[in-house]
Amino acid sequence: MALSLQDLIAQQVGNLAGSVAMPANQKNDILNGLSNSILGSLTQTATKAGGLDMIKKLLTGQTNATQSPITALAGSLFKNNVIQKLGLNANLGSTLTALIPTVFTRLSGLMKDQDGDGDVDLNDILISLKGGQKKQSGGGILGSILGGILGK
């Protein structure tokens, strides 16, 4: 079974942050917080006008991750929900936040043609969000992406 986008995010965060020195007693909270911030930025973007197109462009590599508002939002969520709450020092926080664009870049490299139409498009992203299973009809695109992100 193909990995869901949530699994891919967690995997990339773990791979990239594995070499970063962080307090052992906070490591799981930090890694989970980083993954959740990235997923949260996608969720929030999906609910905005034009958000699905922004997600498509980011996850297919059409938008540079360092310049994407989705990346900026993920960084903001991470700073507010993890760095501040855990009281991480500024250097560690900056190092971890700097990983976010790389996670998105790697995700765009992992997106595959899921529906067999020869390209990576929004439908492929939706299938990835559902864990690699083709979407059943009903609910519309927005419902599908939100359901996939939120696991419903």
Closest CA to 64 of 34, 91, 5, 104: 104
Q: Which residues contact 60 (CB under 8 A, 6 or more apart)?
A: 108, 111, 120, 121, 125
More confident residue, 49 or 135: 49
Cα angle, residue 106 at apex, residues 103 and 109 outer, rounded to 5°? 155
Confidence of residue 127 (pLDDT cuts 50, 70, 90): low
Q: Could you report the per-residue pLDDT of 60-118, keeping only the tens digit for each?
A: 788 999 999 999 999 999 999 999 999 999 999 999 999 999 999 888 766 665 666 66
pLDDT, average across residues 117-127: 64
| Residue linked to tokens 């936040």 | 97
Q: Residue 135 carries which side chain, given as an amino acid letter?
A: K
**Confidence tier at 144 by pLDDT (50, 70, 90):** very low
pLDDT higher than threshold 60 for residue 149 = no
- Model confidence at 135: pLDDT above 50: no
Residues 24-73 pLDDT 10s: 999 999 999 999 999 999 989 988 999 888 988 888 788 999 999 999 99
Residue 146, pLDDT above cutoff 60: no
Sign, Cα dihedral of 111, 113, 119, 123: negative
What is the distance between the alpha carbons of residues 98 and 66, in angstroms, rounded to a whole number? Answer: 9
Global pTM? 0.76
User: What's residue 60's pLDDT?
Assistant: 79
